[in-house]
A and B are shown apart, each in its own frame.
Chain A
Amino acid sequence: AQRVTQPEKLLSVFKGAPVELKCNYSYSGSPELFWYVQYSRQRLQLLLRHISRESIKGFTADLNKGETSFHLKKPFAQEEDSAMYYCALSRGGGSEKLVFGKGTKLTVNP
């Protein structure tokens, strides 16, 4: 079975500091990994996915198959980055369901 682990329930940093939200997964095949974000009083939305290799709002994430990790990073956090972040996995190959981690609440302090 697939599993996504986000070890930090809460993460607090100061504005301008680097931030890393950890995500580890367990799946024996080749998964597709995603980061979703939920800002206060807004709906869940896709932030980025590993196959697109994009940088969105200054965030990047690299899939490390050896460590089965997909950590989300940003070099300089902004107050508007404060939100709930969820890492998710899909098996791909026609299985469309997303398996989510429990989420990390990021607070960026002024």
Chain B
Amino acid sequence: GAGVSQTPSNKVTEKGKYVELRCDPISGHTALYWYRQSLGQGPEFLIYFQGTGAADDSGLPNDRFFAVRPEGSVSTLKIQRTERGDSAVYLCASSRGPFMETQYFGPGTRLLVL
């Protein structure tokens, strides 16, 4: 079946602009995760949703970052007043549920802030 999809695949924006990144999880997966991967680093956790609610948002770096999952399926990661340091690949993953189910990753959105 279809895997996790993310749009756009690439996004170029200017410093100070607002961006939205979208994630479509595998159908039926209740858990959804966002990670950020900077060049030369491993993925870094941002936020985890179980259903519609954010069960763990401890990885969000500051209040410019916000994510929603209003209907428990698609999620949007929103970044306000982008900074050059936000440039990275943003990865989304989903799993059937909590309790250490395998996380399946999407292809990522490559964000470049000029």
Contact = CB atoms under 8 A, between A and B. Distances in A.
Q: Is the interface of B mostly helix, strand, loop or mixed?
A: loop
B40 interface: yes
A43 B56 contact: no
A96 interface: yes
Interface in A24-56: 32, 43-46, 49, 51
A45 B4 CA distance: 12
A48 B65 CA distance: 32
Nearest to B95: A96
A44 B35 CA distance: 12
Contact of A96 (B40, B48, B91, B107): B48
Given A44-B91, A90-B100, A96 B44 contact: no
Given A96-B31, A97-B45, A46 B56 contact: no
Contacts of A100: 35, 42-44
Given A96-B31, A96-B48, A98-B35, 8 more contacts: A43-B105, A46-B103, A51-B100, A86-B43, A94-B99, A96-B56, A97-B58, A102-B41
28 contacts: A32-B100, A43-B3, A43-B4, A43-B106, A43-B108, A44-B43, A45-B105, A46-B102, A49-B102, A86-B42, A90-B100, A92-B100, A96-B33, A96-B48, A96-B55, A96-B95, A96-B99, A97-B45, A97-B56, A97-B58, A98-B33, A98-B35, A98-B43, A98-B45, A98-B103, A100-B44, A102-B41, A102-B42
Interface of A: 4, 32, 43-46, 49, 51, 86, 88, 90, 92, 94-103
Interface of B: 3-4, 31, 33, 35, 40-45, 48, 55-56, 58-59, 91, 95, 98-100, 102-108
